[in-house]
Amino acid sequence: MRAHVLVFMVSTSLVLAPRSHEVPICLPDGPVTRVLVMKFLTSSSFADDRARLGLTVADTASLRVLVDSTDAAACQWFRQQVTIPADRPRDAAYYKAVGFYFVSNVPKCTPCTRWGALAVFDTTFALKGAFGM
C-alpha cells in the first residue's frame, strides 16, 4: 500500500510541475523590435500619427513587452491574427503603452490594410495603423 501511495504522490507532482519546455505564447523582447516601437513613439517623422492616436513622446515611459504571465490572451490573439512566416526569424514582439498594443516587424498582418514594420492596435484589438519604418 505504501508503494502505491508513493508512486501516486510522485506521479502527481510530475504532472503539476511547471513545464520548462513549453513554447511561450508571447514573443521575447529584443533590441531590434523595441527600436521600432521607440522610433514610432519618439521620432518627429511620426508626430502626426502619434497625435492622431493621442500618443505623446512621454508615453515611452509606460512601454513594456507583453509576457505570458499577464498578457497571454493578448499574445494568443496576435499569434492567431498576425502571421509570421516560418522561414523568417521570429524577431517580432508585442508591446503595450498606455491604451495601445504595438506589434513590431510585421511581415503580414491579417487585419492590416497594408503590411508594415509596426502595427498599432487599441485595447479592443482594432487596428489603428500599420507604419513602414
Residue by residue, DSSP assigns 75-107 as HHHHHHHEE--TTS----EEEEETTEEEEEEES
Can you tell me the distance from the alpha carbon of 55 to that of 58, in angstroms, rounded to the nearest whole number? 8
Tens of pLDDT along 59-99? 999 999 999 999 999 999 988 887 665 555 457 889 999 99
Three-class SS state of 133: coil
Three-class SS state of 127: strand
6 has pLDDT over 60:
no
**Which pLDDT value is given to residue 18?**
46
Three cell numbers written together for 123: 485595447
Q: Which residues pair with 106 in a beta bridge?
A: 116
Average pLDDT over residues 110-118: 60
CA 35 to chain centre: 14
Can you tell me the distance from the alpha carbon of 112 to that of 82, in angstroms, rounded to the nearest whole number? 9
pTM score of the predicted model: 0.74
Tens of pLDDT along 24-65? 889 888 888 898 899 999 999 999 999 999 999 999 999 999
Residue boundaries of the structural domains of the chain: 24-131
